[in-house]
Structure 1
Amino acid sequence: MARRLDFTLAGERMALPAAAVREVVALPKLTRVPYAPAALLGLGNIRGTVMPVVSVSGLLGRVETAAALVIVLDRAEPVGLAVSDVPRLAEGEDAASRLLEIDALLANAFRGGTAGGGRRVSLAVSAAVETAAVAETIGLLGFTVAGQAFALPLQQIEALLALPEDITLLPGADEVALGAVAHRGTLLPLLDLRVLLHLPRAPAAKPRIVVTRIKGAAVGLLVDAVDAVLHAAEAEIDAVPAVLTRGNAEAKIQAILRRDGGRLVSLLASDHLVKESVMDRMRADTAGHSATEERCVEAIEQFLIFTLGDETFGMPVGSVREVAVMPERLTRLPKAPGFVEGVMNLRGDAIPVIDQRRRFGVAGAAAGQRRLIIAAVGDLVAAFAVDAVTQVLRVPVSRLRAAPELGEGARVFDRIASLEDGAGMVLVIEPKELLDRAERDLLAGFQARQAT
């Protein structure tokens, strides 16, 4: 006799074959997926497996009810069904219960749409706007120390940390070596970049720690603020004039980057920041706490992390041309779709600015000054307006997994990154799909407005 799992939805009794159910668990914290079908409540981490959690009310086209439990279906790609009633096992058939054809309901809700046809156009489609192809660039992380701009290559950055309240003092600590902080199971030596560069010392409102390696050892550099991710063409980078490399501080700068408005950014030579004798002493001081440094090095990917409201997303740093502050004024595009805020001039290139809050359906308005992520793949370039850019996150490949198939629109997210502290997950954007989708919707918006 077949067993079934019964539950009630808005007063109607429903049932699922018991053989199709793996378990019933409490509703976990969910991560919303923009562009996903309406029935998808979000992605949840259930016993280490990230799976889509779907509303049964949504599958049936009913008014949404508050859910507290998840029925996990036993299938190759697990799916959770959110319900409000406590399910119960029953034997045999019951004419009063509606046996759900769950596979058909899921297939109908998540069927893939077809991409719009038509010719391809530039993201900056307009009679007056053209975008230039992106030249080969070098990725940099920019930060401020004593009011001056500095940067390090992105591939040398291991993490960005907030300055903790508790710092472990090391034997023989001096003005340069402030102490050590706990980081990934080891003690990380903390160096004051102001002192290293012979700059005036003054308290910073929100200092940050830039984790990098000097002569093969992981160290934290204390900076006043992290500014932006930059992608600079080699033509914008000049060698330091020989006459300036005689001084102690200047020798720690390997090149100068020229930015808009004559602004100069000093590129640090990390291996020349600290004398070998100082590094030897710090290695000895932290030797007893560095077992994790000797473990096998796992492949790492870097992502630029940004927020929209309370939601967090990631984008591969290789597709980020730079991060900029939202300009006070933008050039408006006649008959552009509502999600296009306008066009900005970035070193001679006209770049469309897209309101990513509106694109991802995030409610409310951003608080404070927004940031622009200028993303580029091939000849597609656009600036995506976000609430804030929080960090460059290094994620071991073992913590990356493919995103579940959630329909045509949700293909903007191709992977999910699980955070080390178990605090949640980050949806990773596939940059080409994001740019392609923006391009298609931009063209469709222009055509719709021109037809009215």
Structure 2
Amino acid sequence: MAETAPSPVDQALLTVEVDGERFAFPASDVAEVIRRPAVSRVPLAPSSLVGIANLRGAVLPVVSLRSLMGRPPGSSAHTRVVVVDRGAPIGLEIDKVASWRASGVGDEADEATSAPARLIDLDALLSRDFGHDRGRAHHRREAAMSEPRESSPTTPDEVALVCFAVSGQDFALPLNSVHEIVAVPPGSVAVPQTDSVMLGVVARRGRLLPLVSLRELLGLPSGRHDDARSRVVVARVGDALVGLVADGIKEVLRRPSGDLEPVPAILIRGGAEAKIQRICRLDGGRRLVSVLSTDNLFRDQALAELIAPQMETDPEMSSPDASPNRDEQVIVFQLGNEEYGLPIASVDEVVRVPETLSRLPRAPAFIEGVMNLRGRVVPVIDQRRRFKIERGGERRRERIVVVTIDQMQAGFVVDSVSEVLTIPQDQLRPTPELAAGETQTVHRIANIEAEGRMILLLDPHELLDRAEKDLIASLSSAHPDRPDP
């Protein structure tokens, strides 16, 4: 782990302090020393892993040297991170830098302490917490990056919808017409000689995105769009993208096409009603969701002339040679202070937490209960408990993300769902070997450097281990609400 260096040698050494003791690194191992960066915690990782950080576009695992050495946790204003190279960058959190020397260690006591600085055997230290699984994690990651992922099975007559709120009413767009859903960006530029339907334009990924008020577009009561829950639904209109500003995202649903009814003919009389193509009945008809048509949203001639000059054709959408796998769509949700993502193809639905859940006797603590989802018994799992994250946020914003894992549906409770995000491939990074942990739950990391964000992308197949899958399957099959086969 740490040993007194042999006879003096002429080499540069970085001396650091950890819990009152001094240790040294050969300068040849040290890439740089930085202030402690903002880190994202990795669930189910060894306790010595502080988290992962962005280092000029690279994903940097940050490890506590205190923890590796079995010392109590602690930090101060002098805390620094020593970046070393072990085939990939690794950050070692230390209490402070003591000195940079060009002579050997171990031959004389340090000026400030009676004990000599000891040379760190970094590989031996790391192997204690990470060595056992590093090789296996590496092979699992290589296989995960090369093998195609199965998407959730959907029947041909199902329609995927993204639901959002506008002036207290529920609206939706088909998922295949939604490019992404993002927070309202700051700094939009107003367009002169336009009415209130046109909120302005913003630059996004090198292109101008017009922002349109859905309230004004649909003739609903107007209001400000500066609420923290407001979202921009970036919709595909022909070969261009338009940002539709809504009051907030609500759910992602997959419904049988029979649940979507045509709009009564008497209501199709122009204006807002003509922009609605279907009505979706939820909760036994107690809740109605109006499904909008992107083809009809801007069919009005005056409106089209207003919006068209601000719309830029997306070459990736119009080019026949464009690869559909260039970008990836993920659903972004929050657990504690971290952002996580799941491939949208693997998510069946995002629904509200029911008022009551059926409790299961002798079920493990992470299973909240089961819910009836249109005749199917779906176990509900508190993902915060599984990831050892304290409950936070508002109960009313909690959502259940329903995923199919090995032909079995399970719902995972999260603090909130914020976005449907399209992530370019060049912003996706493999999980660092040290952060892989015993399982490959975090499949990849979206490093969105321009926004200072790191999103941990979860592998849906690794959300439950084999024993948990078998347990949940047996509990679901034994539940009295389970429909007869």
Question: What's the TM-score once normalised by structure 2's chain length?
Answer: 0.78
Q: Does the Cα contact within 8 Å between 1:134 and 1:376 map onto a contact in 2?
A: no
1:194-209 equivalence runs, <5 A: 194-199=215-220, 201=222, 207-209=230-232
Letter in 2 for 1:33: V
Alpha-carbon deviation of 1:93?
A: 4.3
- Matching residue of 1:65: 74
Match of 1:335 among 362, 383, 394: 362
Q: 1:408 to 1:190 in 2, by over 3 A?
A: closer
Displacement of 1:223 in angstroms is: 2.5
Mean Cα deviation higher: 104-113 or 304-313: 104-113
Partner residue of 1:222 out of 234, 245, 260: 245
Larger mean CA deviation between 382-391 and 11-20 belongs to 11-20
Deviations 1:120-159 (CA, angstroms, capped at 9, x unpaired): xxxxxxxxxxxx9864644321012344322112232233
1:151 aligns with 2:180: no
Deviations 1:271-311 (A, max 9, x none): 22112743344333x37xx6x95689782211211112222
- Residue 160 of structure 2 is aligned to residue 139 of structure 1: yes
| Distance of aligned partners of 1:106 and 1:215 in 2 relative to their CA distance in 1, 3 Å threshold | same
Equivalence for 2:90? 79
Unaligned ranges ≥5, structure 1: 116-131, 447-452
1:371 is aligned, of 399, 414, 428, to 399
Identity rate of aligned residues, in percent? 42
1:35 CA displacement:
0.2
Q: More displaced, 398-407 or 15-24?
A: 15-24
Deviation at 1:361, TM superposition (A): 1.4
For residues 376-422 of structure 1, give each alpha carbon's deviation from its aligned partner in whole angstroms, at most 9, with x where no partner exists. Answer: 23413211111111111221111111111234445110111122533
Q: Partner letter of residue 444 of structure 2?
A: R
Q: Within 2, Cα distance between the matches of 1:112 and 1:14?
A: 27
Instruction: Tell me how far apart the structure 2 counterparts of residues 83 and 437 of structure 1 sit (CA, whole Å).
Output: 38
Q: For residues 320-370 of structure 1, give each alpha carbon's deviation from its aligned partner in whole angstroms, at most 9, with x where no partner exists.
A: 111111112111111111111111111111111111221111135443322
1:220/1:408 CA distance change after superposition, 3 Å: closer
Residue of structure 2 aligned with 1:257, choices 280, 284, 298? 280
2:182–2:421 CA contact under 8 A, matched in 1 = no
- Equivalent position amino acid for 1:81 in 2: L
Mark the CA change 1:437 to 1:325 in structure 2 (over 3 Å): closer, same or farther: farther
Q: Is the Cα contact below 8 Å between 1:134 and 1:379 reproduced in 2?
A: no
Counterparts of residues 266-345 of structure 1 (less than 5 Å): 266-275=290-299, 277=301, 278-284=303-309, 286=310, 299-345=326-372
- Residue 108 of structure 1 is matched in structure 2 by 128
Match of residue 92, structure 1, among 89, 104, 107? 104
Moved more, 324-333 or 230-239: 230-239
Residue aligning to 1:128: none
Amino acid at match of 1:47: R
Alpha carbons of structure 1 residues 349 and 66: separation in structure 2 relative to 1, 3 Å = same
Contact 2:379 2:472 in 1 (8 A): no
- Residues 381, 435 of structure 1: 8 Å contact kept: no
- CA drift at 1:442: 5.1
For 1:178 and 1:444, the matched residues in 2 are separated by: 50
Residue 39 of structure 1 deviates from its aligned partner by 0.9
Which residue number corresponds to residue 24 of structure 2?
15
1:404-452 residue CA offsets vs partner (Å, 9 max, x unmatched): 1234445110111122533231111111111346825957999xxxxxx
Change (3 A) 1:410 1:436: closer
Match of 2:213 in 1: 192
- Measured on the aligned residues, the alpha-carbon RMSD in Å equals 3.3
Tell whether 2:363 aligns with 1:352. Answer: no
Aligned residues: 426
- Displacement of 1:196 in angstroms is 3.5
Per-residue deviation, residues 89-130 of structure 1 (Å, max 9, x unmatched) = 342341533322211221221122999xxxxxxxxxxxxxxx
Q: Give me the TM-score of the superposition, normalised by structure 1.
A: 0.83
Q: In 2, distance between residues paired with 1:166 and 1:25?
A: 32
Partner Cα distance (2:405, 2:294) in 1: 30
Deviates more, 1:380-389 or 1:357-366: 357-366
Question: Structure 1 residues 333, 78: closer, same or farther in 2, change over 3 A?
Answer: same
The 1:89/1:442 distance shift into structure 2, 3 A limit, reads farther
State whether residues 260 and 347 of structure 1, in contact with CA within 8 Å, keep that contact through their aligned partners in structure 2. no
Which residue number in structure 1 is paired with residue 419 of structure 2? 391
Is 2:180–2:329's contact at 8 Å kept on the other side of the alignment? no
